[in-house]
Amino acid sequence: MSGLLGLDWGTSSLRAYWLDGQGAIRETRARPWGIRQLPDGGFDAALADITHGWPPLPRLACGMVGSRNGWLEAPYLKLPADTAQLAATLVSVRAADGLPVHIVPGLREPRGPDVMRGEETQLVGALALQPTLARQSTWLLPGTHCKWVNVSDGGVTDFCTLMTGELYTLLLQHSILGAAIGDAVADEAAFARGVIAARDSGAAGAFSRLFSARALMLDGALAASSVPDYLSGLLLGEELRSVVAGQRYRLDGPVQVIGDAALCARYRTAAHHFGISVVEPLADAAAHGLWQIALSRGLVGNGSTTHRALPSC
């Protein structure tokens, strides 16, 4: 049997894909076993559980599993980088069952410096799904650490990380802005108000407006339950304001997006206030990226099920 077992292994979760010989997804499984909360038995136990009952196909993983705190560190690849370069620099670790798990390296932007792990594989998959975007496109990958990416001539040429999601959590849970707000209630108007406040903050930026989340509540102009949405809008708006001001990414055409549908929808709503078009997100980009990298490396294709050991670092 030909095919691939793909692993998208991050900090807080693990997702596994069984792909057939043509790269189509036969089955998907998920576990809350990121590299920070593994089950008893560690990486080997997590791998055995999530792939139980699946055939012994080549295994390829991306994400934080290849970080310094992961199963085996896969050194970052400097930009610019494309599918072939990622495939050429895979590393492998031998699992308890005696077969290798191959790991995709992350990418490093030396001018930042900045790094990514996992997003590079999503981008590979997305470009395979939409090859017309390989020549030139701008990508947004929302999350705890949001990525903005430039793609040119089939490879990643530039990217930056904005810690919008993590800042939101920290401010809401560990600052006075989240004090005494009670249960949050979805408030689209409050979200839009926050986005617009950031957009119109000028050179001072939205950090000069953060305390307004509390001041508006104390004035009775913002319900306590609406503070989370207002703060979310303020931070997403600041991210977009800084991207526009930095002129680092082309925003005159549609921005491509990969990520959770609900979060992507919030970015699309916020971007509207900046006159930026954000398209609907792509699904299963990581799985398709893993397949493309495996194909480029020769781990799959021509019906082969050979487990070839790759260099370890």
CA R_g for the chain: 21
* Residue 296 confidence (pLDDT) above 70: yes
Strand partners, 161: 147
| Non-local CB neighbours of 72 within 8 Å, separated by 6+ positions | 65, 66, 91, 92, 93, 103, 312, 313
Q: What is the mean pLDDT of the chain?
A: 94
Instruction: Provide the pLDDT for residue 307.
Output: 38
Alpha carbon 284 to chain centroid, angstroms: 12
When pLDDT is cut at 50, 70 and 90, the band that residue 287 belongs to is: very high
User: What average pLDDT does range 227-232 have in this prediction?
Assistant: 97
- Please return the burial class of 91, using the count of CB atoms within 10 Å of its CB with bins 0-12, 13-18 and 19+: buried
* Residue 167 confidence (pLDDT) above 50: yes
Q: Which of 268, 212, 204, 282 is nearest to 240 (CA)?
A: 268
pLDDT 10s digits, 18-33:
999 999 999 999 999 9
Instruction: Provide the pLDDT for residue 309.
Output: 37
Instruction: Provide the pLDDT for residue 184.
Output: 85
* Residue 313 confidence (pLDDT) above 60: no
The sheet carrying 59-62 orders its strands as 25-31, 14-19, 4-9, 59-62, 100-103, 91-94
| Same-fold call for 4-130+283-297 versus 162-272 | yes
3-state secondary structure of 273: coil
Architecture of domain 4-130+283-297: 2-Layer Sandwich (3.30)
**162-272, superfamily in CATH?**
2-keto-3-deoxy-galactonokinase, C-terminal domain (3.30.420.310)
Q: What residue segments make up the domains of the chain, in order of their start?
A: 4-130+283-297, 162-272
Q: Which of 127-136, 178-187, 248-257 has the lowest mean pLDDT?
A: 178-187
pTM of full prediction above 0.85: yes
Instruction: Provide the pLDDT for residue 312.
Output: 38
Q: Which of 250, 305, 313, 312 is nearest to 57 (CA)?
A: 305
Q: Which of 14-28, 151-165, 296-310 has the lowest mean pLDDT?
A: 296-310
Question: How far apart, in whole angstroms, are the C-alpha atoms of residue 31 and residue 25?
Answer: 17
When pLDDT is cut at 50, 70 and 90, the band that residue 95 belongs to is: very high
